Each structure stands twice: as C-alpha cells, then as structure tokens.
A = this chain, B = another copy of it.
Amino acid sequence: MSNLRDVAHRQFLRLQDEICKAMATLDGHPFAEAQWDRPGGGGGRSRVIQDGRVFEKAGVNVSAVHGVLPPEARAAMRARKADLPDTDAFFATGISLVMHPHNPMAPTVHLNYRYFELGDGSEPAAWWVGGGADLTPAYLFEDDARHFHACHKQACDKHDPSFYPRFKRWCDDYFTLRHRGERRGIGGIFFDDLADRPALELFDFQRDCGEAFLSAYLPILERRLDLPFTDAQRQWQQLRRGRYVEFNLVWDRGTVFGLKTDARVESVLMSLPLTARWEVDHQPEPDSPEARLLAVLREPVDWIPLEPRSG
C-alpha cells in the first residue's frame, strides 16, 4: 500500500471509530460489525444499528478496495474527466454513513469522504478526493439548518474561504431529485474530483470536515430525538423516506454505479431507510410545516448569508 492510500484509509477508520462510539453511547445499542472481502481485491468494515432506541437505521461503512476498473466505471470516469492516464488499475477508500432516527423531528444525516487513485500503487497515475455531509429533515428547524451549515463552513474556512460557498451550492445541485424539482434535504457541503493541491493538504481538509460531523449533528439530534409527534407527522416522515429512496436509487452516482458493477449490495443499500411510503399525488396543506419544508427543498436557502446576489 502506498503511503497516501494508507493515510487516507486510516483516517477514515479513525473517523468511523469516533462517530460510532458517540452514536452507540447515545443510542444505547452497540453497532453490529461485519468485516467483508471484495472478490476483486480489498474489503471493508460495516457497522449498523437497526431498530435501536434513537435510530431506525444507522450505518457507517469504511472500505478500501483495489483491482481493475469495470468497463462501466472506466467509461463514466472518462466522460467526466478528459485526460486520464491509460490504466485500469485503481484503488479507492472511503467512509460513508447514513443515520435515520425514529423521531420525525430528528433529521436524517449523510456523510461520505473518499480518496480515489488510478495506477498500480507504486506511484499514483492520477488521484482525487471527494465527499461531503448533508442533512435531510422531515420537519424544518431553521436553527438546525444554520448550525449544521455553520459547523461545516468553519471546517471549510480553515482551508480556503472559497470552499464553503462553492461546496454548499455543489451540494444543493447534486442532491436534487430532478424528476420532482426538489432537493433531498437542506444541504451541507459536497465536492468531487479535487486534486488542485497536495493530497495531504486535502486529506487534512477531509479530516476537519469529518471531525465537524459530531459537533454539527449531535446537538441537533439531542434536542429533537425526544420531541412528541403525531401519527400524521410520522406518515409525513415516511413519505420523505420514500423520496430518500428515490434519490439514492435513481440519481445517486455511487449507489447506481455500485448496483450495476457488483459492489457489495448490503453496503451499497445500507443507506436506505428501514421503512418508506409512497402516496399518489400527496400534497401538504398550504402554510403547514410540511409545505414549509417543501418550499426550501424547491428553492434552496443560503442558511449562512453568502456574498450578496447580483441583480
């Protein structure tokens, strides 16, 4: 394993340990762990809580895989990036996490950071990093949205003042259900294909973002997880869970790609909620809390004022 591969992988394993420790304490249930091997090379460590006290489902997966790129992967990558070196040998390591709390007042959260390398490992022929974290509430609490964004802005600002505004918009763009004209949630940060500064600097950036996760999410979770809720609110949460499934199965590059290239199904689909619901032509009441959420999903908000918009 080259040094960069190792540095990235260990950093993700440390982050997994730190997050799982905090979340298991909160939930009162331990994560069930599965170690798995990938037939083509490498493997991973998946940790899951299902039907816990706090979480309907919470999964944190770290993998480090290598081998020969499947043709679909190669084609998709070349469509995105013009001047790739002529090799199919690859290495990829990443952490991905989705947590769906039971309580409809407590938002779902997603995090993913990854390092990708082309080449046989002696010297990377090309490499890049990507990732981000974003929040998906069923009910909007503006304080929560501002807090989640502020924590990630702080991690970004340590590295480059242009990062947060760029990556906040990238997140709104990426997590879009195009068929519905809705964002999946209230955003966060998202970036991909970063390679414009030394890898170790970008790893530090990913580490700071990763470390922002607990301070961004835990206080939100703690103040929402015991709020009272009605059956109707639970049903609205289930409909939003359905939208989460739609995004992940139709639009999420990593999920669709994983399912079509024989990745480990249980890890790829760990992100799906335990339960979901689809009603035909459901419309929330005007001016209801449900309608207020939809409004910000249709027209994303700058939770932290960015530069004044022109015009």
Taking beta carbons and an 8 Å cutoff, which residues of A are in contact with B?
34, 48, 50, 57, 59, 178-180, 238, 242, 245-246, 249-250, 256, 258-260, 262, 265-266, 268-270, 272-281
Given contact pairs A277-B275, A280-B57, A249 touches B245 in the complex (Cβ within 8 A): yes
- Residues of B within 8 Å of A246, CB to CB, are 249, 269
A238 CA to B273 CA, complexed, in Å: 13
Asked if B179 and A260 sit within 8 Å, CB to CB, the answer is yes
Asked if A266 and B280 sit within 8 Å, CB to CB, the answer is yes
- Residues of B within 8 Å of A260, CB to CB, are 178-179, 250
Asked if A179 and B280 sit within 8 Å, CB to CB, the answer is no
**Which 10 residue pairs spanning A and B have beta carbons closest together?**
A249-B249, A179-B259, A272-B278, A48-B280, A266-B281, A275-B277, A179-B265, A276-B276, A249-B250, A250-B259
Given contact pairs A179-B265, A260-B178, A279 touches B242 in the complex (Cβ within 8 A): no
Task: Kindly report which residue of chain B lies nearest to residue A181, judged by CB atoms.
Answer: B265
Nearest-neighbour CB distance to chain B for A37, whole angstroms, equals 15
Asked if A275 and B238 sit within 8 Å, CB to CB, the answer is yes
- Residues of B within 8 Å of A250, CB to CB, are 249-250, 256, 259-260
- Can you pick out 20 interface pairs between chain A and chain B where the beta carbons lie within 8 Å of each other? A48-B280, A57-B280, A179-B258, A179-B259, A179-B260, A180-B265, A238-B275, A242-B276, A245-B245, A246-B269, A250-B250, A250-B259, A250-B260, A272-B278, A273-B278, A274-B278, A274-B279, A275-B276, A275-B278, A276-B276
A258 CA to B180 CA, complexed, in Å: 12
Knowing that A238-B275, A274-B279 touch, tell me 10 more A-B residue pairs with CB under 8 angstroms: A50-B280, A178-B260, A179-B259, A249-B249, A269-B278, A270-B280, A273-B278, A275-B275, A276-B277, A276-B278
- Residues of B within 8 Å of A273, CB to CB, are 278
A246 CA to B258 CA, complexed, in Å: 13
Q: Which of B34, B245, B259 contacts A281 (CB 8 A)?
A: B34
Q: Which of B178, B179, B262, B275 contacts A179 (CB 8 A)?
A: B262
A259 CA to B179 CA, complexed, in Å: 5
Task: Kindly report which residue of chain B lies nearest to residue A241, judged by CB atoms.
Answer: B276
- Residues of B within 8 Å of A180, CB to CB, are 265
Which of A57, A258, A276 has the largest number of chain B CB atoms within 10 A?
Answer: A276
Nearest-neighbour CB distance to chain B for A110, whole angstroms, equals 15
Which of A249, A262, A266, A268 has the largest number of chain B CB atoms within 10 A?
Answer: A249
A50 CA to B246 CA, complexed, in Å: 20
Which of A48, A245, A270, A278 has the largest number of chain B CB atoms within 10 A?
Answer: A278
